Structure 1
Amino acid sequence: MKILFATTNQAKVRYYATRLQEKGFDIVTLSDLGITQEVEETGKTPTENAIIKATSYAQQAQIPTIAIDEGVYLNGLSPEQQPGVHVRRVNGRRLNDQEMIEHYLHLVEKYGENGQLTGYFKKGIAVATGNSMTTFENDSPRLFVNRQSEIIDEGYPLASIQIVAPVNKFKSELTREEEAITMDIEQQPIFDFLSQVLEEIRESIETVQKEKSQSD
């Protein structure tokens, strides 16, 4: 059973798709399927945007589809000031990686204390099939600082201004072993959710195929 991981963000592909493949799921990407049409994300929350993307791409690909969207929420900012789902868009303009880093460094300086600003990423996850939609949300605490790593993770530029407390390193500088004891544990609820939903979909498909085979 092929499963579409619907994102053009290569950092998400490297992290999420790779881990799901390690769990034995046959993950394909938009690039693999030659899908180039972009979906307009008009939701007000990460989950709403994930639903929009999962629904649209599942219709195009005709296979089960995963979409993950996220928003940034920073302590000390009013609701109107929050980046929210517009993580990369400021005043209607999409920022490139370096512009995005500079914008958030400014927020740390303006709203943080001692060069640090806490907050969290809210992730919305949606899994769509032809006749079902399942969603999940997960909050991940973050510590942003007023200095930048020399290593920029393309697609995840904010990793270069985040410190991962257990190992006291920039997120963009973590080794695979350090990811395993920090980020993998943090993201485990998401993988537990995806594993359960995808197994249920696989079992459902196998049941339908078995019933069809017996009736032929």
Structure 2
Amino acid sequence: MKKILFGTGNPAKLNAMRRRLSELDIEVLGLADMDREAPSPSEDGSTPLENARQKALCYYDFYQIPVFSCDSGLYFEDLPQELQPGIHVRTVGGKCLTDQEMLAYYGGLAEKYGNLRARYRNAVCLVMDREHIYEAMDDSTASEVFLITAVPYAGVRQKGFPLDSLSVSLGTGKYFYEMDRERTDHLAVEDGVLNFFRGLEL
């Protein structure tokens, strides 16, 4: 079984990725499985793919084992460019928002403009070594369109996915938090990301 490090500090994303890739002959390692702590990678790219690449290369250079990283950008339909989060989902006006501040900010946008039709553009970069780097960011790895609403989910929230408490599926009308774990794993790790790994000869 091939061991590959997932370069993320988000335990919820790590667990979702492990479950989604469990059908493949891949053991997904987390940063906590490593024997030493890597320096924080730069994430100053202009696209999700540039950030995913920066993270994957940083962790590969430090640990010298195959590494993949993912990154996302959030985009709204029918909102002006200055209000598009893009890759800066958690940073507004130069400030890094807490989970609660994120809910207040994006909930406020939905209250002002009405329910927001949104989509994540997702990127993945896998570094087997410096000569073998594989990347993807296209419609297949993007999320389906969903709604960001002004009224947050009233139940228990999962750490690591704060905006899921404002996110509503267009298909079911349910908050992401109301869906079963298999469905939320698909939302966290799109089929296109799974197919990216399926298409590689690892």
Offset at residue 56 of structure 1 (A): 0.8
Match of 1:7 in 2: 8
Task: Tell me the equivalent position of 1:123.
Answer: 122
Q: Residue 139 of structure 1 is aligned with which of 126, 138, 142?
A: 142
Runs (5+) with no aligned partner, structure 1: 203-216
Return the TM-score normalized by structure 1.
Answer: 0.83
- Contact 1:71–1:85 (CA<8 Å) still a contact in 2? yes
CA–CA distance in structure 1, aligned partners of residues 128 and 182 of structure 2:
34
Aligned-CA RMSD value: 1.9
Determine which structure has greater relative contact order: mean sequence separation of CA pairs < 8 Å that are 6+ residues apart, divided by chain length.
2
State the 1:174 CA deviation.
1.5
Deviations 1:127-146 (A, max 9, x none): 11212221111221221111
Larger Rg: 1
Supply the AA of the counterpart residue of 1:52.
Q
- Rate the CA distance shift 1:20–1:84 in 2: closer, same or farther, 3 A: same
Deviation at 1:177, TM superposition (A): 4.8
Question: Share of identical aligned residues, percent?
Answer: 32
Aligned with residue 196 of structure 2, among 193, 198, 204: 193
CA distance in 2, matches of 1:177, 1:132: 32
> Equivalent residue for 2:180?
175
Say whether the 8 Å CA contact 2:74–2:85 is kept in structure 1. Answer: yes
Q: Spell out, residue by residue over 1:40-80, the C-alpha distance to the aligned partner (whole angstroms, 9 max, x if none).
A: 20100101100100111111121111100001111122223
Change in CA separation of 1:129 and 1:24 when aligned onto 2, cut-off 3 Å = closer
Greater per-residue helix proportion: 1
Identify the range of structure 1 (35-44 vs 155-164) with the bigger mean alpha-carbon deviation: 35-44
Q: 2:158 corresponds to which letter in structure 1?
A: D
Normalising by the residue count of structure 2, what TM-score does the alignment of the two structures yield? 0.88
Q: Where does residue 18 of structure 1 map in the other structure?
A: 19
Is the alpha carbon distance of 1:31 and 1:177 closer, same or farther for their aligned partners in structure 2, counting shifts above 3 Å?
closer
Which residues of structure 2 form unaligned runs of 5+? Answer: none
